[in-house]
Chain A
Amino acid sequence: MSKEFKRVDGRKHNEVREITAKVGIIPNADGSALFAFGKTVAIAAVYGPRKLHPQHMQDPSTSVLRCNYDLLSFSVDDRKKPGPSRRSQEISKVAGQALEPVVDLGAFPNTVIDVQIYILQADAGTRTAGINAASMALAHAGIPMRDLVCSVAIGKNDKNIIADLTKEEEDYKEGEGASDFAIAKVAKSDEFSLLQMDGKIRPEEVKEVLKMATEVCEQIYEVQKKALKEAVSQQ
């Protein structure tokens, strides 16, 4: 690791941006939360478990976790055309599967749990912020979960492994350029439920990436727990 390398905003390699977490922001929803990494702001709402329609989609052995992720049209520089894009459909699917491993879906046959994630303001790391918000929203909805899911992007600028990249860091061009590895893990166990990357990472570097993700997720977990406790104590 080169000693001269300084991150654009002066953060330490493993330092995340300022985290904001708030639970219970959408009264209509069964559970809801906001999660922000610096200027990236995500909100999530959970509805359900409720009856899944159409009926033929129902599964008598389990509930279905249906996740929808999207950007609000004005959350990015070039207005995003409203409605699902190929990108948002892909992220919806993998984000749902990042959350699923902790949710006791078997407890609610024939139902659907709808998880809605929207990005208010995008400065990289939107899917990870969204997953953190959704994980809190699921807990807030009182859905049985064996753990929380925590998520962060670990990336690289040239050869330097860094946590929670900003858009500016994602656009880094020198040396090996920028890499971005979005990771989610089950908070208290060594299980990775989201692994999605682009860029340039050597196979032997992946171990260090996972280690940094684990450390950062521990911090995120504490913030999520604190926000959930605050919401409960206010009720």
Chain B
Amino acid sequence: MEISNVTKEYMAKLFSQGMRFDGRKLLEFRDIDLSYDVSNKSEGSARVKIGKTDIIVGVKLYVGEPYPDSPEDGNLICTAELLPMASSKFESGPPAFQAIELGRLVDRAIRESGMIDFSKLSISKDKVWNIYLDIYPINADGNLIDAATLAAVAALKNAKLPKLDEDGKIDYSVRKGSLPLSKETFPISLSFFKLEDSIILDPNAEEEGACESRINFGISKWNKHYMINSCQKVGDLTFSSEELAKIMDIIPDKVEELSEKLKKFL
């Protein structure tokens, strides 16, 4: 979103006083809503709304060959497409950096959290289940990574394995067991955005357009401890060790708060 300098300056001033245009506190999320079964042709699907941001994630399962470096494991293939319907900023054509990054960040958060037991996706020698997880924002109003990660987790939990015939054909009309997912852990994504010296969570598109840098974390619970599983900084501005220390202090409380909020959905 193109933001005028005057808006940006005013926003920075408000942020420095701990305020936002929509009345939220700097680290406060918008309302979160989650629903399942968006498409009955998918093996699992979910739709997440955070404020006006609206994202659909679907899972398709295929039988394929394992990668040579992990012959016993199934695979996760995570892709995001930024549909032109979701924002006037998105254009059709080959994936832009933002789309590539969105797919890869969701992939890393899920993979590194250990939520999926890839070894249990093995069917036989040379045959494994491949999980195709596709992310489609249908209304992009900021904070796509956090929303998409949540939708991805929900779609995986929602997914059912189709029946596999003895001759290896998939019968998508019969769906039985769930995916081999951990009961203890799943990732939560937190993206911190920086405008001048202020740090905010869950920006809408206008705020995101004004912010100069972003640092995203995939966080999960592992042996009762919060673990950062993935991190990526993007943007022209740097982060100081003091700012990072502040973010580290925020993470456990925020993840706890979000987990509590998400309990009724997941």
Chain A: residues with CB nearer than 8 A to chain B?
78, 86-87, 89-90, 93-94, 97, 100-101, 176, 181, 185-186, 190-204, 206-207, 210-211, 214
Beyond A87-B104, A214-B241, list 6 extra A-B contacts (CB 8 Å). Answer: A93-B234, A192-B244, A193-B238, A195-B232, A198-B108, A203-B228
Chain B contacts of A181 at CB under 8 A?
Answer: 231
Closest to B223 in A: A176
Q: Is there an interface contact between B235 and A97, defined as CB atoms closer than 8 Å? A: yes
Closest to B105 in A: A90
Kindly state the separation between the CA atoms of A193 and B108 in the bound complex, as whole angstroms. 20
Closest to B220 in A: A200
Chain B contacts of A202 at CB under 8 A?
Answer: 225-228
Kindly state the separation between the CA atoms of A123 and B69 in the bound complex, as whole angstroms. 16
- A195 and B104 in contact (CB under 8 A), knowing A202-B228, A206-B244, A207-B241? no
Q: Is the interface of B mostly helix, strand, loop or mixed?
A: mixed
Give 13 A-B contacts (CB < 8 Å), ordered by A residue.
Answer: A89-B100, A93-B101, A94-B233, A195-B215, A198-B231, A199-B112, A200-B222, A202-B225, A203-B228, A206-B228, A206-B244, A207-B248, A210-B244
**Interface assignment of B14: CB less than 8 Å from any CB of chain A:** no
- A90 and B238 in contact (CB under 8 A), knowing A201-B227, A206-B244? no
Q: Is there an interface contact between A192 and B228, defined as CB atoms closer than 8 Å? A: no
Kindly state the separation between the CA atoms of A66 and B111 in the bound complex, as whole angstroms. 30
Q: Is there an interface contact between B233 and A192, defined as CB atoms closer than 8 Å? A: yes
Report the minimum CB–CB distance from B251 to chain A (whole Å). 5
Contacting residues of chain B (219-266) with chain A, CB-CB under 8 angstroms? 222, 225-242, 244-245, 248-249, 251-252
Q: Is there an interface contact between B237 and A101, defined as CB atoms closer than 8 Å? A: yes
Kindly state the separation between the CA atoms of A99 and B203 in the bound complex, as whole angstroms. 26
Report the minimum CB–CB distance from A64 to chain B (whole Å). 12
Chain B contacts of A191 at CB under 8 A?
Answer: 238-240
Chain B contacts of A214 at CB under 8 A?
Answer: 241
Kindly state the separation between the CA atoms of A199 and B112 in the bound complex, as whole angstroms. 6
Chain B interface size, as a band, is: 35 or more
Kindly state the separation between the CA atoms of A204 and B250 in the bound complex, as whole angstroms. 11
Q: Is there an interface contact between B69 and A198, defined as CB atoms closer than 8 Å? A: no
Kindly state the separation between the CA atoms of A195 and B228 in the bound complex, as whole angstroms. 13
Chain A contacts of B229 at CB under 8 A?
Answer: 198-200
Instruction: Name which of B230, B238, B240, B242 has the most chain A CB atoms within 10 A of its CB.
Output: B238
Q: Is there an interface contact between A190 and B222, defined as CB atoms closer than 8 Å? A: no
Chain B contacts of A199 at CB under 8 A?
Answer: 112, 229
0/1 string, B78-113, CB within 8 A of A gives 1: 000000000000000000010011011000100110
Closest to A194 in B: B233
Report the minimum CB–CB distance from A59 to chain B (whole Å). 13
Closest to B213 in A: A97
Chain B contacts of A194 at CB under 8 A?
Answer: 233
Q: Is there an interface contact between B239 and A195, defined as CB atoms closer than 8 Å? A: yes
0/1 string, B180-200, CB within 8 A of A gives 1: 000000000000000000000
Q: Is there an interface contact between B238 and A86, defined as CB atoms closer than 8 Å? A: no
Chain B contacts of A211 at CB under 8 A?
Answer: 241
**Interface assignment of B68: CB less than 8 Å from any CB of chain A:** yes
Closest to B255 in A: A203
Q: Is there an interface contact between A203 and B238, defined as CB atoms closer than 8 Å? A: no
User: Which of A87, A97, A185 is within 8 Å of B236, CB to CB?
Assistant: A97
Q: Is there an interface contact between A94 and B234, defined as CB atoms closer than 8 Å? A: yes
User: Which of A86, A97, A197, A198 is within 8 Å of B234, CB to CB?
Assistant: A97
Chain A contacts of B231 at CB under 8 A?
Answer: 181, 195-198
Kindly state the separation between the CA atoms of A44 and B57 in the bound complex, as whole angstroms. 39
Chain A contacts of B239 at CB under 8 A?
Answer: 191-192, 195
0/1 string, B22-64, CB within 8 A of A gives 1: 0000000000000000000000000000000000000000000
Q: Is there an interface contact between B233 and A195, defined as CB atoms closer than 8 Å? A: yes
Q: Is there an interface contact between A192 and B238, defined as CB atoms closer than 8 Å? A: yes
Chain B contacts of A201 at CB under 8 A?
Answer: 227-228
Closest to B226 in A: A203
Q: Is there an interface contact between A90 and B100, defined as CB atoms closer than 8 Å? A: yes
Chain B contacts of A89 at CB under 8 A?
Answer: 97, 100
Closest to A89 in B: B100
Chain A contacts of B225 at CB under 8 A?
Answer: 202
Report the minimum CB–CB distance from A104 to chain B (whole Å). 13
